[in-house]
Structure 1
Amino acid sequence: MNRLLTPLVYLKVRHPVKIWYSVIYPIMFSAPLSALLVFAPIEYTVVGDNGLVETFNALLALLIGFFIAALAAVASFDRAGMDAAMLGDGATLSLPDRSEPLVLTRRMYLCLLFGYLTLATLATYIVFAIANVMLASVSPPAVGLSAGTYALARGGFIFVYCFLIGHILSHSLLGVYYLAWRTVIFEKKVLGNE
């Protein structure tokens, strides 16, 4: 079981701005989107056919393949700079067998990031696909909920789902930024590194 959850090691990575990508940006994404969805003046389906979960899960299914491909590319990317320490405040990882935190190289960080994104996206997809099937036919009277309690549960469900989507998207964009800009263009053009 330990090996299956190894990608969660990314949660132990420390960096001064990591909280922005893990919590703040996802809240900035999910709070207004959830409010818009909860208080929307139009009728729409959250779960079931053509609902919110089904629509976003289609995106998640595509992202899983992208993250696996990105992980393979990063792991085998033949460039000396990939095995150098990250510039500025580098990311670190505390390991039980080391007294000092491990300073991550670009390759290490990106492998941890894309491994984590693969697992997080796969887990989100599976959990909400099951929720989509199970909740598709649920209505407030069927489960004995008042209209207010049902609305609160629906709003909470939407917020949690949007938060997880925002969490995955913010880390995805961080990974793309790092691969597309920091690792190649920034260092070559700005710093003059080859």
Structure 2
Amino acid sequence: MTVSYELSRPLAFSRIKGPGLRVYRDVLPWVTVLVALVLYWVLPLRIALVGNTSVVAMASPFFASLPGFFIAALAAVATFHGADLDREMSNVTADMTIRGETAPSALTLRVFLCYLFAYLTAISFLGFFLCASVSLLAKNLHALAAIASWGDHAREQLIGSALRSVFVVLVTLVGARVVFCTALGLYFLAERVHQELS
């Protein structure tokens, strides 16, 4: 195993193939991003991205509080003694490298849930570091936009708008993926683990 393979495994859930997974992982989060962008640019009073009552101030504690819960869920799923968790799920696969060979592999419910909670832990950390970085670098980013515009005020405004839009997209995408994938995890833990796998 290579270091890059091992470090990428918490994000392996993003590449798992299975019925309905793309809706939670991709479709609903991107719809949420579009709604957030429209609201950000259409509302008469602009939403603050950094500062005391801002997106960063509200999102940072949200992202920071989640990894502990997801790691606890991961530990519980990984160590729970239940034979039903070790049955293969139908039509759910992930690419795995075993003895140097990468190939699609069928997943058990336990492995699927472990990938899900590892993914949620990783993107929660990512969301926190994204918010912290923007909070710390906001003034420098504004200065870089001014430098890059070569004194052209319209270009400076355009660069600043682009940077704000990129941040709105990233923080909304990460936040929405956390929310929708957590909802999927709650469904599996509350109901699906008690059903016969088909």
Q: Which of the five TM-score ranges fits, normalised by the shorter chain?
A: 0.7 to 0.9
Of 121, 124, 135, the residue aligned with 2:124 is 121
Kept after mapping to 2: 8 A contact 1:140/1:150: no
1:90 aligns with 2:76: no
Render the CA deviation track for 1:51-98: whole Å, top value 9, x for unaligned: 102211211111111111110111122222111122xx4311222346
Q: What is the CA distance between 1:141 and its match in structure 2?
A: 9.1
Q: Secondary structure at the match of 2:24?
A: helix
Q: Which residue of 1 aligns with 2:171?
A: 161
Question: 1:33/1:43 Cα in 2 relative to 1: closer, same or farther (>3 Å)?
Answer: closer
Q: Secondary structure at the match of 1:112?
A: helix
Kept after mapping to 2: 8 A contact 1:54/1:129: no
Q: After TM superposition, which residue ranges in structure 1, 4 or more long, deviate above 3 angstroms?
A: 1-5, 96-100, 136-142
Q: What is the CA distance between 1:138 and its match in structure 2?
A: 5.2
1:168-179 residue pairs with structure 2 within 5 A? 168-179=178-189
Question: 1:99/1:134 Cα in 2 relative to 1: closer, same or farther (>3 Å)?
Answer: closer
Kept after mapping to 2: 8 A contact 1:7/1:112: yes
| Length-normalised TM-score, structure 2 | 0.81
Question: What is the RMSD computed on CA atoms of the aligned residues?
Answer: 2.5
1:8 aligns with 2:18: no
In terms of fraction of residues, the more strand-rich structure is 2
In terms of fraction of residues, the more helix-rich structure is 2
Q: Which residue of 2 aligns with 1:81?
A: 84
Q: Which residue of 1 aligns with 2:110?
A: 107
| Length-normalised TM-score, structure 1 | 0.83
Amino acid at match of 1:19: R
Q: Secondary structure at the match of 1:92?
A: strand
Amino acid at match of 1:26: P
Of 19, 30, 33, the residue aligned with 1:30 is 33
Query: How many equivalent pairs are there?
Result: 185
Question: 1:91/1:52 Cα in 2 relative to 1: closer, same or farther (>3 Å)?
Answer: same
**Cα distance between partner residues in 2 of 1:65 and 1:136:** 31
**Cα distance between partner residues in 2 of 1:131 and 1:63:** 20
1:41 aligns with 2:51: no
Render the CA deviation track for 1:99-152: whole Å, top value 9, x for unaligned: 863211110100011011111211221132112211157547972452233223
Q: Secondary structure at the match of 2:50?
A: coil
Question: 1:93/1:137 Cα in 2 relative to 1: closer, same or farther (>3 Å)?
Answer: closer
Q: Which residue of 1 aligns with 2:153?
A: none
Specify every segment of 5 or more residues in structure 2 that has no aligned partner in the other structure, as ranges: 150-155
Identity of aligned residues (%): 27
Kept after mapping to 2: 8 A contact 1:46/1:52: yes
Kept after mapping to 2: 8 A contact 1:47/1:136: no
1:70 aligns with 2:51: no
